[in-house]
Amino acid sequence: MTTKVLVSRRLSEADLARIQAVSSSLVVAQAENSEQAIARAADAQVVFAGHWSDDLWKAAPQLRWVQSGGAGVERFLTPGFIASPILLTNAAGVYAIPIAEHVIALLLAFARGLHRTVRSQLAHQWEYPEVRELRGATLGIIGMGGIGTEVARRAKGLGMRVIAVRRRPERPREFADDLRGADALPWLLAESDYLALCTALTPNTRHLIGEAELRIMKPTAFLVNIGRGGLIDEPALASALQSGAIAGAGLDVFAHEPLPAHSPLWDMPNVIITPHDAGDSPHSHHRLMALFCENLRRYLAGEELLNLVDKREGY
């Protein structure tokens, strides 16, 4: 009995061969755009998703499992798909190392004033920025999954105090000096010299950081968002940055991407913008392929899949 795998993302011939090598019972088909994916979905039992839409899974009556190529899965979670029996797995862990390094890079840039030094360089001006040390400073982390844990690991290596909140604080904690439940968010905001958003975007976390939360933060605090743009009320953030309610922000994700040219965030001297590339690494694709192939082996063997998403929880 054959199992059809639809790859709705661009992969090399070597990658496709690696998938095929998992089992001789597989039929592997690739689609390079949404229209091709829908046209080739009728007999697919597995989708390795890049291109995705509600029309895709509705065109695949035999579909049993979808592997997301990203850690965030909000684009999949329409009411119909949530209610369906189709399994969804994500790429949690694949991007944790480069994203954690990206967060630390932003913390160091703000601590050493590099966001201002680079602007001075472009203006041919010899100016001394205000600088700090990370050692002894408090890093607050919202979300202590794979990414948050890797951020905390590196922050502890730099001598920072690490505090965190997550939905299930009873789970074992690593690298956090203090870990509390999600209801302790005001405590976290008030304590943090640096704040890292490492949580998933769900209905419960949309605009998690808004005007009220920004008012709780220290005026000397920096915010870093590598989760999803929807975690922050962007107009409220822009206002807080302009007024000096917080010291600055390092933003890799935005409500609309690419960030529109008219956004005031582009021109703020206390903001560092990166183009949703925190997870990029020469090793990320290899990790993603390894995860999918292992999950494919497990699926064929009837074993539990890695990174199974609770579709109702959103992660």
List, by residue number, the catalytic residues: 228, 257, 276
Please answer whether residues 33 and 54 qualify as being in contact, where contact means their C-beta atoms are separated by less than 8 angstroms.
Answer: no
DSSP 292-313: HHHHHHHHHHTPPPTTB--TTT
Whether residue 275 has a cis bond before it, omega within 30° of 0: no
Helices 13-20 & 284-301, crossing angle to 10 degrees? 30
- Gap between the Cα atoms of 168 and 160, Å rounded: 23
Q: Per the structure block, which two tokens stand in for 161?
A: 């105090």
> CB within 8 A of 103, min separation 6: which ones?
151, 154, 196, 198, 224, 226, 250, 278
